[in-house]
Structure 1
Amino acid sequence: MTQRFRPLLFLAALCWGITLAAQTTYPYNGVYDEPEGFYAFTGATVHVSPDRTVENATLTIRNGKVESVTAGGAVPRGAVAVDLTGKHVYPSFIEVYGDYGMPENEGSGRRSRRDGPQMESNTEGAYSWNQAMRPETDAARLFTIDEKEAKALREAGFGTVSTHHHDGISRGSAAVVTLAEDSENEVILKRNAAHHLSFDKGSSSQDYPNSRMGTMALLRQTYLDAEWYAKQNREETNLSLEAWRNLQDLPQIFAVDSWQDALRADQVGDEFGKQYIIRGSGDEYQRLQPLKASGATFILPLKFPDTYDVSDPFAADLVSLAQLRHWERAPGNVAAVDSAGIPFVLTAHGHDKPADFHEALRKAVAAGAKADRVLAALTTGPAKLLGIGDRVGTLEKGKLANFIVTDKDPFQEKATLYQNWVQGHAYELKDLKTLDLADAYDISIGSNRFVGEVSGDPGSRKMKISPAGDTTSTEVSLAESGGVLTLRFRPGKEGGFYRINATPRGEGYAGTGRGPAGELVTFTATPRPASAQQRADKEKKEAEKAEQKSYASRLTYPNIAYGLPQHPTTKKVLFRNATVWTNEADGILEETDVLIENGKISRVGKGLSDRGAEVIDATGMHLTSGIIDEHSHIALLDVNEGTQSSTAEVRMSDVVDAVDENIYRQLAGGVTTSQLLHGSANPIGGQSALIKLRWGATPEEMMFQGADPFIKFALGENVKQSNWGDANRIRYPQTRMGVEQIFENYFSRAAEYGRAREAGEDVRRDLELEALLEILEGERFITSHSYQQGEINMLMELAERHGFRVNTFTHILEGYKVADKMADHGAAGSTFSDWWAYKFEVNEAIPYNGALMHEQGVLTGFNSDDAEMARRLNQEAAKAVLFGGVSEEEAWKFVTLNPAKMLHIDDRVGSVKAGKDADLVLWNDNPLSIYARAERTYIDGKEYFNRAENEARREALLRERNALIQASLDAKNKGGKTQEPRGNSRRLLHCDSENH
């Protein structure tokens, strides 16, 4: 049972005088008697800091603070001496990301369609309009001592915790507290220690935001609003913005769920001059260099996945290679982060039991983390991060007497924590006099000789004893208390018991007791030298530990199946004797060569040569520019922020997911560029992201640099929520005419906003109106989800009233009805080849739509809107030949040059022309053939897909997977914790997908 004890010092105080103890404003009821807590700990190895150790030290503390640490120092007069010979003393750990003493969270506030929307905050008072923004939350005000939780944290070695309420996007300020069980007034060390943020809106039941991109937009707008609020003449009172401003000079700690989220958070921080401290997710090893470049310090969790139970060969198929890889490599994350030179500290966040945290610490050390770096990450690192290094983190003079007493390095296997002292108060975890037993002893009891074998951890030892030269063993009742070893056993099946008391003597034990007949006997136990077999077993065990640093898994980019072992490099390549689909005036050229170098198409012609180039014999093959998908939803974390009628402030670039396997699949289908669009849940959606499918790159590296910005608008059933159920009759608009009024209203407001800014007025920056103003000023372009002719006409007429044009109508399955008007307006049409009748408003779609628009002079293309269709866009283009008689050359442009023109990037991609980006696909057949396969796919002259290598990689992946499964089975057999196999298959996103 954990206890806090204060030895009686009253007599000492009478003899030596009462020293003035810590002073307080609180009155004392009764005769004042507050002992000064003057202790001298002798004989221990004291680890003053991670880089300073004192052997045979005397550590003195008084009034809860360290007075001195000296080698072999004498016990000061008046001090209570505590013998710690053979023990180690370390500074208590600091938890940098805790919720100790905080109220319970109210749970998730996520709502479903059947609940209906909550448009406004339900927080009462003059606070933020969004209830997920809670910067006014003050952990010091919320904090109350929780003795049960404090006990658990002390058992894990912690003495200090930075605690905050884990609820919301802005979670307010943290407070630093100790784990002493005094009053709250005595244990709070620091108020406003840090500002905590996250991407999780927590218990907020308000609809907005319901996506990562919405959260990021809300954070950006809050930074801007707080700056504006500080300047304005109090047109409103907003306590949340005031609190936000007051927190900006504190350490900013941002919690994320993946390495990609870490980069997203850093992106927001960079925009507003904030260097976040990132509470990571444990997968940082997958992208060390970009994370290092962020400049962030990482708070690393030590929550590792349990072994997957893959005993059932068919259930094992549910577990992905990525999951198996992470299971194996997660314990090595700390070592990898440290080796990369990324500053880090550690947190126990995520562990319910202290034993689990210590097991994870030891796994991290076994996987290569250096013990001294781990100690620093739990002591001096957090202290520096929180600005409390003058009070805790080391055992230097004047700092709080927060320390643990152990038998050895606490990160070693079977290390024992005996005591945890917090603010000079001792909390006993195990009996300090617990005896340290060897594995085996030669035992003498009188004239009899025995062999004793010991197992178990300190405090719960077990012993078996057998007569010397006999293999028949007997269980021994073994007890340890106060430094005395008590043994009781019967040597045979019949007869009496031996009862022995023994104390340490030299390396063994000696004592006396009574034999089976009650006779007095003497007892000695001498450690038994390890046998050859025992030595071999120990060496094997140590070798197995060393082997844990090598992995059966590969680390690839991204770290999933078919990830690349290294990033592709730009090559100089000569394609010789190909059929080249130029998409230029030259048309389709037979037996032609193409040279690429420095990421560009260098020359196109016959008989080309270059000695430094890799030569690819393309005889009988077709070389084309890469397919461009004008309307895609792959590689996205979220697709809709449909909680408001306009969310022009959100950016799809914020939620690009670089680990989507559909990127690789579409490279295998010849796609090289995709426009990632917001969904169609609201009239004015989010800003588009244009990416090149650079497999293995980070989200930012995938961006098509220098391209014009676009935004998604939507018309039809989805935006007016006609199919959302009766509970969703709140959000405006609910009719098609309401949709028009939304556009009219927002463009009018945007124009007014622009005029005010032009006039130099002190206008509050509004990211939503800024995006719409860019449309009016011709700097951003609309891609509009559309189906029916009436709405298509409406949006073109509205655009003309406001002085701009609609760039592209996507879907536009009734485009054939208004193709002439589209041509006059200058709108392009990006449609499906042959989709119809999947909902009411597409009942009049026809497969000739694309051909008819093209015939009327509309810039026409085919898009996917579907991850599976995008792998076969070459075949979709062929349907224009079947339905409408479009020529093969023009049909091919439907998925290459025409989308490039729609996206204003045809000066870079979309055709095979000298000077353009080397985004090329080599096909084994006419690309419009159903038998055509992309053999090689290049982006910027880098080969991202090679079919022959893909086949070889498949065999390697099967071998790797089997090795990981065998490792999992081995870990289970050794008693490791297991979890049921569960898959993590990706949900394919479409225009109307809801976020979860």
Structure 2
Amino acid sequence: MTKPLLMGLLALGLIQSATAQTTFPRNGVYDERPGLYAFTNATIVVDPQTTLSNATLLIRNGRIEAVGANVSLPAGTVVADLKGKRIYPALIDIDSDYGMPEVKTERRSFNSLPQLESNKKGAYYWNQAIQPENDASLLFKADAKKADELRKMGFGSVLAHAHDGIARGTGALVTLADERENALVLKPNATAHYSFSKGSSTQTSPNSMMGSVAVLRQALYDADWYKRAGNKEQANLSLDALNRIQSLPAIFEANDKLGVLRADKIGDEFGMQYIIRTSGDEYQRIDEIKATGASLIVPLNFPQPYDVEDPWDADNVSLAEMKHWEMAPMNAGRLATANIPFALTTAGLRNKSEFWANLRKAIENGLPEQRALEALTTLPARLIRAENQVGTLKKGNVANFIITSGNLFSADNVIYENWIQGKQYIVNPKDGTDLRGRWRLVIGNQPPVQLTITGKSAEKPEYQIQVDTTKITPKVSVSGDLITMQIQLDKKKPGTTRLTGYRTSPSNLAGDGETPDGKAISWSAARAVDTPTSSTATSATATAGRSTTSTAGTTLLYPFAGMGNLSKPQPQTMLIRNATVWTNEKEGIVQATDVLVQNGKITQVGKGLTAPANATVIDGTGKHLTNGIIDEHSHIALLSVNEGSQSSTAEVRMADVVNSEDVDIYRQLAGGVTTSQLLHGSANAIGGQSALIKLKWGESPEGLLVKGADGFIKFALGENVKQSNRSDGSGIRFPQSRMGVEQVYMDHFMRAKEYAKSWDTYNRLSTKEKASALAPRRDIELDALSEILAKKRFITCHSYVQSEINMLLKVADSLGFKVNTFTHILEGYKLADKMAQHGVGGSSFADWWAYKMEVKDAIPYNAALMHRQGVTVSINSDDAEMARRLNQEAAKTVEYGGMTEEDAWKMVTLNPAKLLHLDNRMGSIRAGKDADLVLWNTNPLAIYARPEKTIIDGAIYFDLQTEDARRDAMQAERARIIQKMLTAKSSGSSTTRPTPRRSRMWHCEDVEGVMAEGEEDGK
């Protein structure tokens, strides 16, 4: 479209809203024009697979009427000649808060008064974070400034929703035109939205990631109950809305790569395939993410380089952070290579102006242009079932398109116009005044140099000249077609070269000038542009397949952390020869013995064994071979430890928050630990369900879990439960006394008995009877407690004081359940006979005491005294550092209590295996058991003992021989990336100042998101 034609259209008033039909009255004369526009001689990208040359696009009343090479134009059509230009579908962002009210969040301090119940008035769900009744089309209010910003980037429509809460309600597909809201909403109630964040809710529950998972799961089960029977008993607007939105495409906002897996697990439980909004680190777990089958919404929020000029500052940046800075631009390309469907979003960007630069960086790092276009047009439209409205330039779709100078993804490309619902929005004038792009500049008889003109807009360009490796910033002034430049071409020779000239065409500049010594010269500049395709093609652009993959820094680690593996360790056939073997069986400690490992199992134990073909032979001469240490009470590898919002949170699962990237896994492998029970904390009387993991450094959270293990759950007694540490009056949650703790158990188990009875009655019905009966409401908290009554889930109870331990034993006897293990139990020696009679085990510290009032009676002989009464006793850590030396903790029982070395060793191996019901698989060295082994340099109870190899299921996860090489490689990788960051800073890149971080080591009493006064957030 030429400038005169454009001005003519504006003068005639033809550029108007194309919605001819309206329910709004008008104050004045009705002017209903057909809105007929034709754009001819253009290269038209109909969709990412179809590009037409010298084609015509015809629109009528905001819709596409025709597209092709031979389009008949009706009378009255306004024609614009776009020879040499391209037309693309306008872009779509399906994760936007455009037009939504601001979400204000409030962080509680340790001394805040808890809000135990919802303060939302009305017939809504019990938890404020569940708000599926939110309707984006009702909340939507157009924002002219934000719309203009997005239009200039090439976007024509967005999926807007309120980013607030766990169940967030529905999203609405809206356009970015400047019309009334009712004309902008293309598709109300287009999608359903979920997240793990409670958002603006000030309610105490949930206070953890695992709590968020449980709240959402329960809400979904409640919605099912409400649909079947609950709506006859009560009105609940939230559950009613939750049922209504179940048929919509569902988008789940995940926090990171592990959040993607967590969200998909919830979807699997409820038969939903979520579209998952990611964080940009999916490449780190791409195999597991591909296995979910989920489509993704991927941000382009690449981190800035860190300012690492100060070595002390550099020490505050982890290797994972450094590598993510380097590899984040590769994320989209790797997803494309793995054939994982994804849309791209502007969400998460520090500044929306970074979008195109980051997208082009992604293309340079392996993202094919065709996939990029799909991710911004057809795929987002398909994911939200709006492909018959937006995303392509096919007949009948909304007339949302952009007019460009050339290839959309070229750095030289200029977006001239963005047409939305048939209405024109000028982004950059097409008359050639936009000089942004690359130019070949020739000054006098000097060799050509590159002039690069960039900038957020044509009105504020930025200039840079590249002479060899030197970058020069000229002083430039533009007035209409006239252009002047002042340049110091040689920094070694003072003086300015002055140039004056004019535009001879949109792609050429020319003029005269004068060198610093007064010599007259001529100069010229030609725009470097992409050549448009000359024939109909089946690709999005002439260079659709073009991508340049960077080869530097592409090495993944499993996990993506310091000391991560280059590949996941695999089981080996191995023969460990001539070692002193601590069997933990009737054979005891045997000398000069061989152990054969095949397919992850111990297959033979004996002397003079023959190594199979291709077996790895390990010389154990002078060394001691044991099974792996088992930690009955641990809090490592978790994203949170306490859901302390209620007295009972039996519904939460530690498996939902396993953090496979925690370096404590590797550190404990170096201490010979192979298996841990990850327990809920002690913030409430009934805590959450345990996760039993093997420390397979490099595996995903699911890959760490011990398959087929019994279920366990954490109970707690004492000071933490009754909130003794909240003496300021903010502790108002029941119970507030040790007597109240007993009542909590009685109340909850009585309810669980009734709940189990109701399900038993229902399950006894015949198929015909069930058809007319109503199933009880599913309660995932009572499910867990019912499993205890049915001996399908087992209690590990945090305990100290004799009187409370007696209390729980009496409650258990009266209600017909058993306590499996008392953990901590530093007063176990006072009632060890009763423990043995009840059949309960004890997991104790070796010599901790006097760290709070209720442990003042602790003695170091506790473990030995319980053992002598026939109690199965283990020594636990409850501490990430102590777990690295549990062998020494076990040795203390020899000193304090006279335990034999074999019995002492069993306290960190076979006995915890018994307490966890895993002794049929682990805890001793016997044919048929899991090959979880540790090769020590000396007697494992010695203070100088150190693991040389730690083996799990036949795979070596820690090897002292390679430890130094791994550390050297890690330091070399850090050094390489630091140099790259220094180069980036010297080249003008914005940087981020490193901030000290410490990994949070969880303990029993820690609560996620709530900090004591003066405490730093270690997350």
Question: Counterpart in 1 of 2:534?
Answer: none
The residue identity in structure 2 corresponding to 1:684 is: I
Shift of 1:89: 1.5
Question: Counterpart in 1 of 2:882?
Answer: 869
Aligned in 2, Cα 1:585/1:65: closer, same or farther, shift over 3 Å? Answer: same
Q: How does 1:41-120 map to 2 (within 5 A)?
A: 41-71=39-69, 77-105=75-103, 107-120=104-117
Measure, in 2, the Cα distance between the counterparts of 1:923 and 1:92. Answer: 64
Question: Counterpart in 2 of 1:209?
Answer: 206
Contact 1:21 1:36 (C-alpha < 8 Å) held by counterparts? no
DSSP 3-state at the match of 2:894: helix
Measure, in 2, the Cα distance between the counterparts of 1:917 and 1:509. Answer: 76
Measure, in 1, the Cα distance between the counterparts of 2:162 and 2:984. Answer: 37
Question: Counterpart in 2 of 1:519?
Answer: none
Measure, in 2, the Cα distance between the counterparts of 1:669 and 1:571. Answer: 21
Shift of 1:567: 1.4
Question: Counterpart in 2 of 1:234?
Answer: 232
1:486 matches 2:482: yes
Residue from 405, 413, 422 that aligns with 2:420? 422
Contact 1:463 1:478 (C-alpha < 8 Å) held by counterparts? no
Gaps of 5+ in 2: 1-5, 466-471, 489-493, 515-521, 530-545, 763-773, 1010-1019
1:884 matches 2:881: no
DSSP 3-state at the match of 2:666: helix
Shift of 1:86: 2.2
Question: Counterpart in 2 of 1:152?
Answer: 149
Contact 2:18 2:35 (C-alpha < 8 Å) held by counterparts? no
Measure, in 2, the Cα distance between the counterparts of 1:490 and 1:658. Answer: 57
Question: Counterpart in 2 of 1:308?
Answer: 306
Shift of 1:708: 1.1
1:439 matches 2:418: no
Shift of 1:85: 2.6
The residue identity in structure 2 corresponding to 1:723 is: N
Question: Counterpart in 2 of 1:257?
Answer: 255
Measure, in 2, the Cα distance between the counterparts of 1:757 and 1:784. Answer: 27
The residue identity in structure 2 corresponding to 1:479 is: S
Shift of 1:526: 7.2
Question: Counterpart in 2 of 1:586?
Answer: 587
Question: Counterpart in 2 of 1:141?
Answer: 138
Measure, in 2, the Cα distance between the counterparts of 1:825 and 1:463. Answer: 82
Question: Counterpart in 1 of 2:690?
Answer: 688
Aligned in 2, Cα 1:853/1:85: closer, same or farther, shift over 3 Å? Answer: same
The residue identity in structure 2 corresponding to 1:667 is: L
Aligned in 2, Cα 1:547/1:962: closer, same or farther, shift over 3 Å? Answer: farther
Question: Counterpart in 1 of 2:127?
Answer: 130
- TM-score (ref. length: structure 1): 0.91
Measure, in 2, the Cα distance between the counterparts of 1:473 and 1:294. Answer: 50
Measure, in 1, the Cα distance between the counterparts of 2:393 and 2:198. Answer: 40
Over residues 372-424 of structure 1, what are the superposed CA-to-partner deviations in whole Å (9 max), with x where a residue is unaligned? 11011000011111111111111112211111122222222242222111111
Contact 2:439 2:528 (C-alpha < 8 Å) held by counterparts? no
Question: Counterpart in 1 of 2:558?
Answer: 557
Residue from 399, 402, 406 that aligns with 1:401? 399
Shift of 1:339: 0.6
Aligned in 2, Cα 1:460/1:772: closer, same or farther, shift over 3 Å? Answer: closer
Contact 2:476 2:485 (C-alpha < 8 Å) held by counterparts? yes
Question: Counterpart in 2 of 1:852?
Answer: 865
Question: Counterpart in 2 of 1:175?
Answer: 172
Shift of 1:295: 0.8
The residue identity in structure 2 corresponding to 1:275 is: Q
Measure, in 2, the Cα distance between the counterparts of 1:66 and 1:529. Answer: 33
Measure, in 2, the Cα distance between the counterparts of 1:841 and 1:464. Answer: 71
- Root mean square deviation, CA, Å: 3.1
The residue identity in structure 1 corresponding to 2:646 is: Q
Aligned in 2, Cα 1:317/1:822: closer, same or farther, shift over 3 Å? Answer: same
DSSP 3-state at the match of 1:759: helix
Over residues 882-921 of structure 1, what are the superposed CA-to-partner deviations in whole Å (9 max), with x where a residue is unaligned? 0011000100000000001111110100001111111110
Measure, in 2, the Cα distance between the counterparts of 1:980 and 1:404. Answer: 39
DSSP 3-state at the match of 1:110: coil
Aligned in 2, Cα 1:715/1:859: closer, same or farther, shift over 3 Å? Answer: same
Contact 2:502 2:509 (C-alpha < 8 Å) held by counterparts? no
Residue from 367, 370, 373 that aligns with 2:371? 373
Aligned in 2, Cα 1:11/1:173: closer, same or farther, shift over 3 Å? Answer: closer
1:638 matches 2:640: yes
- More off after superposition, 451-460 vs 830-839: 451-460
Residue from 828, 842, 846 that aligns with 1:833? 846
Contact 1:40 1:76 (C-alpha < 8 Å) held by counterparts? no
The residue identity in structure 2 corresponding to 1:586 is: E
Question: Counterpart in 2 of 1:540?
Answer: none
Measure, in 2, the Cα distance between the counterparts of 1:958 and 1:514. Answer: 53
Aligned in 2, Cα 1:489/1:908: closer, same or farther, shift over 3 Å? Answer: closer
Aligned in 2, Cα 1:101/1:949: closer, same or farther, shift over 3 Å? Answer: same
Shift of 1:157: 1.1
Over residues 229-263 of structure 1, what are the superposed CA-to-partner deviations in whole Å (9 max), with x where a residue is unaligned? 11116211100000000000000100011111111
Contact 1:452 1:463 (C-alpha < 8 Å) held by counterparts? no
Aligned in 2, Cα 1:499/1:277: closer, same or farther, shift over 3 Å? Answer: closer
Residue from 377, 383, 386 that aligns with 2:384? 386
Shift of 1:757: 1.7
Measure, in 1, the Cα distance between the counterparts of 2:592 and 2:499. Answer: 99
1:617 matches 2:615: no
Aligned in 2, Cα 1:381/1:491: closer, same or farther, shift over 3 Å? Answer: closer
1:738 matches 2:734: no
Q: How does 1:324-339 map to 2 (within 5 A)?
A: 324-339=322-337
Measure, in 2, the Cα distance between the counterparts of 1:767 and 1:117. Answer: 24
Measure, in 1, the Cα distance between the counterparts of 2:992 and 2:17. Answer: 57
Measure, in 2, the Cα distance between the counterparts of 1:419 and 1:817. Answer: 83
Measure, in 2, the Cα distance between the counterparts of 1:462 and 1:694. Answer: 52
Residue from 627, 648, 658 that aligns with 2:660? 658
Measure, in 1, the Cα distance between the counterparts of 2:959 and 2:464. Answer: 64
Q: How does 1:260-271 map to 2 (within 5 A)?
A: 260-271=258-269
Question: Counterpart in 1 of 2:631?
Answer: 629
1:767 matches 2:780: yes
Over residues 119-171 of structure 1, what are the superposed CA-to-partner deviations in whole Å (9 max), with x where a residue is unaligned? 10000000000000000000000111110110111111110010000100000
Shift of 1:298: 0.4
Shift of 1:116: 1.7
Measure, in 2, the Cα distance between the counterparts of 1:464 and 1:932. Answer: 63
The residue identity in structure 2 corresponding to 1:709 is: G
The residue identity in structure 2 corresponding to 1:633 is: H
Question: Counterpart in 2 of 1:604?
Answer: 605
Question: Counterpart in 2 of 1:573?
Answer: 574
Q: How does 1:710-725 map to 2 (within 5 A)?
A: 710-725=712-727
Aligned in 2, Cα 1:474/1:928: closer, same or farther, shift over 3 Å? Answer: closer
Aligned in 2, Cα 1:490/1:774: closer, same or farther, shift over 3 Å? Answer: closer
Contact 2:438 2:528 (C-alpha < 8 Å) held by counterparts? no
The residue identity in structure 2 corresponding to 1:297 is: S
The residue identity in structure 1 corresponding to 2:571 is: T
Contact 1:751 1:773 (C-alpha < 8 Å) held by counterparts? yes
Over residues 755-814 of structure 1, what are the superposed CA-to-partner deviations in whole Å (9 max), with x where a residue is unaligned? 222222732111111111111111111100000100011111111111122110000000
- More off after superposition, 151-160 vs 411-420: 411-420
Contact 2:38 2:58 (C-alpha < 8 Å) held by counterparts? yes
Shift of 1:514: 15
Q: How does 1:890-905 map to 2 (within 5 A)?
A: 890-905=903-918
Measure, in 1, the Cα distance between the counterparts of 2:936 and 2:785. Answer: 42
The residue identity in structure 2 corresponding to 1:839 is: K
Q: How many matched pairs? A: 952
Shift of 1:853: 0.7
Question: Counterpart in 2 of 1:248?
Answer: 246
Contact 1:91 1:394 (C-alpha < 8 Å) held by counterparts? yes
Measure, in 1, the Cα distance between the counterparts of 2:149 and 2:417. Answer: 13
Measure, in 1, the Cα distance between the counterparts of 2:462 and 2:643. Answer: 61
Measure, in 2, the Cα distance between the counterparts of 1:302 and 1:729. Answer: 43
The residue identity in structure 2 corresponding to 1:955 is: D
Contact 1:320 1:983 (C-alpha < 8 Å) held by counterparts? no
